[in-house]
Amino acid sequence: MSKSCDTTDEIQSFKFDAIGIIESPYQEKFAIPRQPNLVSAAKGKVVLVGEANNHELVRDIEQFSHLWLLFVFHGTQEQGWKPLVRPPRLGGNVKTGVLATRSTFRPNPIGMSVVKLDKVVTEKQQTVLHISGLDLLNGTPIIDIKPYVPYSDAIIDADAGFAQQQPEAGLTVEFSKKAQTDLAQYTQKYSELALLIEQVLAQDPRPAYKQGKTDDKIYGMSLYDLNIQWQLITLDTVLVLNITQVNK
């Protein structure tokens, strides 16, 4: 291989190590909101790792209320990518260029989310950023963190095509008697569990082709170490049936 070829290869290929790992209530892709800040009760952590686990890297970061997290879509990475994808916002049956979407199936499986920074804690030489509003799977590798800077990052009159409006969180969420008893058992451990379940289900996590349709299927979703079963009982009401602990 010629010298110039080597140089091109070096320029076009990059290797990054994770600087942090996400701890999130979302244990599987199903029911994760499609963007951050739709579920404010979703609280998680960025646990800094390797050489980045050094409190000096985050000195003064608490001056910023929000952060950009750049991460790897590790849960779908092995499935590769496609030039055309079907965004759920278009009902899941219209194809669009992958770079015109926030799809996970991109040439470089890199995601970006703005999250709220609640606090930074360093204990026993472990630095942890506590965040909320995240849309990330548990275990997501973080490759960079940057402060969110509204004067430049927020363009309030920007055109956003098919994603102009925030998706409606239109469903009402009710808890069965059994689910209320279950909730009481777990709220000591997860104080905002009811709110988290409500906010997640209000988004209607069902696949795009089921949106706006009745459905008698019983669904299960995983939050923390819990399995939550629920069912749509009217076009706009979800009933939480029960909450059980999953043995890991």
**Residues at the contact surface with ligand SAM, assessed by CB under 6 A:** 29, 32-36, 73-76, 102, 104, 111-113, 135-137, 140
Q: Which of 130, 139, 132, 241 lies closest to 196 in space, CA to CA? A: 132
Can you tell me whether residue 62 is helix, strand or coil?
helix
Kindly state the smallest distance separating residue 103's Cβ from ligand SAM, in Å.
6
Residue closer to ligand SAM (CB basis): 40 or 242: 40
Assigned token pair, 19: 């600087």
Strand residue runs (E) in the chain:
20-23, 43-48, 66-72, 84-85, 96-97, 110-123, 126-132, 141-147, 172-175, 218-223, 226-234, 237-245
Is 145 within 8 Å of 70 (Cβ atoms)?
Answer: yes
Is 39 within 8 Å of 193 (Cβ atoms)?
Answer: no
Kindly state the smallest distance separating residue 166's Cβ from ligand SAM, in Å.
13
Give dist(CA 105, CA 108) in Å, integer: 8
Kindly state the smallest distance separating residue 104's Cβ from ligand SAM, in Å.
5
Kindly state the smallest distance separating residue 244's Cβ from ligand SAM, in Å.
23
Kindly state the smallest distance separating residue 26's Cβ from ligand SAM, in Å.
7
* Nearest residue (beta carbon) to ligand SAM: 75
Residue closer to ligand SAM (CB basis): 20 or 186: 20
Kindly state the smallest distance separating residue 202's Cβ from ligand SAM, in Å.
15
Residue closer to ligand SAM (CB basis): 55 or 86: 86
> Tokens 């759920």, residue?
88
Maximal CA-CA distance, the chain: 72
- Local structure of residue 48 (DSSP, 8 states): E
Residue closer to ligand SAM (CB basis): 67 or 179: 67
Residue closer to ligand SAM (CB basis): 102 or 146: 102
Give dist(CA 106, CA 72) in Å, integer: 11
